[in-house]
Structure 1
């Protein structure tokens, strides 16, 4: 049986991600406070997705034409003003409020003090993959977490998964048009060794051949870089797939090495790999993780 070309996120997406983050808290003590906070946020994402009714429901046939013609049905440019994502943000903040330390509480207070227009401006920065101002940057991951809940819910309600994107658009999500956060090499029998790009917004996964760069499409100049422990073995089941043709890299989570490897959680935990590549100065990241906003 051929593996599916496009898959939509499952109902347990955030629950599994929170579990993986809690594992990584122990495994990566240098980032334990940060990873514990993100585990709380992702657990709150699961609760909002599970318990909160959507603030806006599209008509049953709202996305039929887009699906028919191979266009991303959930493009954020058309939907941001309709989807009531700010309700998901409020629920998310309530979900984390009693489970975080004093250092994070000012973030919640600052977001609650924003007007609806100011929150939409933050959302646009997230969706456009901008780094935002120095003052905005700490707030944007929480905004991104709420947007992810909103778009995952919308994707789950689609009548079917979109078709695989055309070659000229294969670096962008076929569901919402956003860039990938990373890729995943799966380990299940029916798609063992198959690579999928994982959307940074709606968590859709779409197949891309392993022998080509996810950004420029070239296949002959890829190298793989990772972090090793003191015994010379991989520290985490994640690597940077770097391309010497376009000088960019995208991380890849290796479920062949660890069945619970997650393209977002392991991406966050492998921040040292990003720092190492930044110091070398050769490769720039092509992926976008909105739960970790860094400056230009």
Structure 2
């Protein structure tokens, strides 16, 4: 299946989606970065990665302040009309306005006063880089040419791009509609890749949504199939607490994978691996911890990535604080 954005005027018949399951969820930008920062600091308390998690938290705090101070107001009707089956905010095709550069400058200004000497040097280089150079780095990141962008500057550039795309996504005047098609592993709003999957709580309890690493939208992908290649066979689930392969998930949206071991069902983060495509994606189980947050919990469990990659699997997602070097 794929998801399209349907303008409100096209919903005159009162049908708001092809299913009772909401295919698409947009981020709440009033609390998104604030909640992420709090979760990062909580996870840092007992983590060997505490230094980097706290750095990421400070960046999220700055993002929240910038978004609050510089809200975006934009009419996206032309983009919706021209999408022609592509994501309406396609990150590789959509022309960027200079607004994202103002977000980057504001982010640098917010971070500078409390930055460590090492981070301050990086911010200084970014602040004085010509806009053409910054635009080139942005284009390379959005096209996943990560090796062509300095690793120390990439998180700041992406943070500004993400604020830009997340605010545009929030401006979409329409709802998601599920249609049959391919490329479910890519965000239907902007075409970027997920950070991880989230097993949800509340009125959508037990459903799986993939969380976009750029525009922060979430889109529904049924469980019991690989999020990368859609295979329904040879799926296994791994956690930091156990060296195990779980049984495949049941087809029911409410069912969890049955897992062996002492802690099994209490694990907040698991890696779903697929023997068919050789990929893996982490799953964040909010029913095990309602405060779990996709970006934060993914970043805090890098040891799980190491163990799964040692078994020969390749990550099919990207965390905005940790871009691949190759």
Q: TM-score, normalised by structure 2?
A: 0.82
Rounded to whole Å, the distance in 2 between the matches of 1:121 and 1:32 is 32
Q: Write out aligned runs for 1:5-84 (5 A).
A: 5-11=23-29, 12-28=31-47, 30-54=48-72, 57-59=73-75, 61-66=77-82, 70-84=85-99
1:237-263 CA-partner distances (Å, limit 9, x unpaired): 211110011110011111011111111
For residue 224 of structure 1, the aligned residue among 211, 218, 237 is 237
Rounded to whole Å, the distance in 2 between the matches of 1:40 and 1:32 is 12
For residue 242 of structure 1, the aligned residue among 269, 273, 282 is 273
C-alpha displacement at 1:66, in angstroms?
4.9
Rounded to whole Å, the distance in 1 between the matches of 2:134 and 2:262 is 46
8 Å CA contact 2:76–2:171 kept in 1: the answer is: no
Rounded to whole Å, the distance in 2 between the matches of 1:205 and 1:228 is 28
Task: Please say if 1:194 is aligned against 2:207.
Answer: yes
For residue 164 of structure 1, the aligned residue among 178, 192, 208 is 178
The residue that corresponds to 2:140 in the other structure is 125
Bigger radius of gyration, 1 or 2? 2
For residue 188 of structure 2, the aligned residue among 165, 174, 186 is 174
1:189-209 CA-partner distances (Å, limit 9, x unpaired): x11110001111001111001
The residue that corresponds to 2:292 in the other structure is 261
Task: Please say if 1:252 is aligned against 2:283.
Answer: yes
In structure 1, stretches of 5+ residues that fail to align are none
Q: How many residue pairs get matched?
A: 288
Task: Please say if 1:209 is aligned against 2:216.
Answer: no
Which stretch of structure 1 is more off in the superposition, 147-156 or 4-13? 4-13
C-alpha displacement at 1:174, in angstroms?
0.9
Residue 236 to residue 272, structure 1, CA distance change in 2 (3 Å): farther
The residue that corresponds to 2:247 in the other structure is none
8 Å CA contact 1:40–1:100 kept in 2: the answer is: no
For residue 318 of structure 2, the aligned residue among 276, 288, 294 is 288
8 Å CA contact 1:6–1:207 kept in 2: the answer is: yes
8 Å CA contact 1:221–1:243 kept in 2: the answer is: yes
In structure 2, stretches of 5+ residues that fail to align are 1-18, 243-260
8 Å CA contact 1:70–1:165 kept in 2: the answer is: no
Q: TM-score, normalised by structure 1?
A: 0.90
Rounded to whole Å, the distance in 2 between the matches of 1:91 and 1:232 is 48
The residue that corresponds to 2:5 in the other structure is none
